[in-house]
């Protein structure tokens, strides 16, 4: 009972949190800024401008089986991002998790960098390179390196982005490679409002195939942006449901 109350309280807080942000965004009239996210799993052709910084908060719920709501996990990430040049940025994440209504605890830290190879529109698809390193708080757990090749294209108000992801875990009992992907398409109906769809998963087949699909919605104005997305599992191995909310605050 206590676990259900805790998870319900968190879900209620997420709902209130979203409503407050949406209201604030609608009543702010400052110009938009550069690193607003249209998706929650897919990266676009964006980096933080030189000398500028941003704080981002990620809240992710994973629900393996909607019929067993006691089995779930929450993850929260706090990211500080800084633009080194107009094409190159870096960030550091602090990651926390809570499983099945248990204790809220520190999980890992993560370092990330992105580099845009060209100015937007120079090629048919704009290429961006992404690298990250993740170290878990449990020192017996493996280290993780991850690289992404991001290809994106803007056609008027329509955006499309594809991420090819290669992950490598090392330092544990076994080393392991994993290949994944994400794809997003969104449309900007107004400067403050975007609506889109994401597809993400791995490249495995049969019983190991793991794929999700779901909508995204993004609001932005002034120094704030807020994006929410859901992923519905479409294979047997997938969680039944995932949801992620991102909040960005420009400094």
First and final CA of the chain: distance in angstroms? 41
Residue reference for tokens 């249209």: 38
CATH number, position 156: 2.40.160.40
Domain count across the chain: 1
Give CA separation, 47 vs 83, 87, 199, in Å: 7, 6, 22
115: β partners? 88, 129
Measured between alpha carbons, how far is 181 from 193 in angstroms, rounded to an integer? 25
Q: How long, in residues, is the chain?
A: 251
1 three-state secondary structure: coil
Question: What are the DSSP calls for 16-60, one per residue?
Answer: HHHHHHHHHHHH--SPP-TT--S-SS---S--PPTT-EEEEEEEE
Residue-level pLDDT, tens digit, the chain, 251 residues: 444 445 555 555 555 556 555 555 544 445 545 678 999 999 999 999 999 999 999 999 999 888 887 888 999 999 999 999 999 999 999 999 999 878 999 999 999 999 999 999 999 999 999 999 999 999 989 999 999 999 999 999 999 999 999 999 998 777 889 999 999 999 999 999 999 999 999 999 888 999 999 999 999 988 899 999 999 999 988 989 999 999 999 98
Beta strands in the chain (DSSP E): 53-63, 73-83, 88-99, 105-116, 126-136, 143-155, 158-170, 176-190, 193-202, 211-221, 224-233, 241-250
For residue 221, the enclosing domain spans: 2-250
Sign, Cα dihedral of 29, 251, 219, 88: positive
User: Residue 226: its pLDDT value, please?
Assistant: 95
């Amino acid at each position: 009972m206590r676990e259900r109350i805790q998870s319900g309280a968190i879900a209620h807080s997420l709902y209130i949190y979203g409503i407050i942000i949406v209201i604030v965004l609608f009543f702010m009239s400052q110009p938009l800024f550069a690193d607003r996210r249209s998706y929650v799993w897919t990266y676009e052709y964006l980096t933080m401008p030189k000398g500028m910084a941003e704080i981002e908060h990620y809240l992710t719920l994973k629900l393996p089986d909607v019929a067993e709501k006691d089995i779930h996990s929450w993850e929260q990430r706090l990211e500080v991002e800084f633009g080194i040049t107009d094409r190159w940025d870096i960030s550091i994440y602090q990651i926390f998790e809570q499983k099945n209504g248990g204790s809220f605890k520190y999980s890992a830290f993560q370092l990330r960098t992105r580099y845009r190879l060209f100015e937007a529109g120079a090629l048919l698809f704009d290429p961006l390179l992404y690298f990250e390193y993740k170290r878990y708080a449990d020192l017996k757990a493996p280290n993780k390196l991850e690289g992404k090749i991001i290809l994106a294209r803007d056609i008027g108000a329509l955006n499309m982005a594809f991420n090819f992801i290669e992950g490598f875990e090392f330092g544990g009992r076994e080393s392991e490679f994993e290949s994944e992907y994400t794809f997003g398409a969104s449309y900007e109906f107004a400067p403050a409002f975007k609506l889109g769809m994401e597809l993400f998963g791995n490249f495995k087949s049969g019983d190991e195939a793991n794929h999700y699909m779901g909508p995204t919605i993004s609001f932005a104005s002034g120094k704030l942006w807020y994006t929410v997305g859901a992923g519905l599992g479409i294979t047997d191995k997938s969680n039944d449901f995932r949801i992620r909310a991102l909040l960005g605050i420009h400094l």
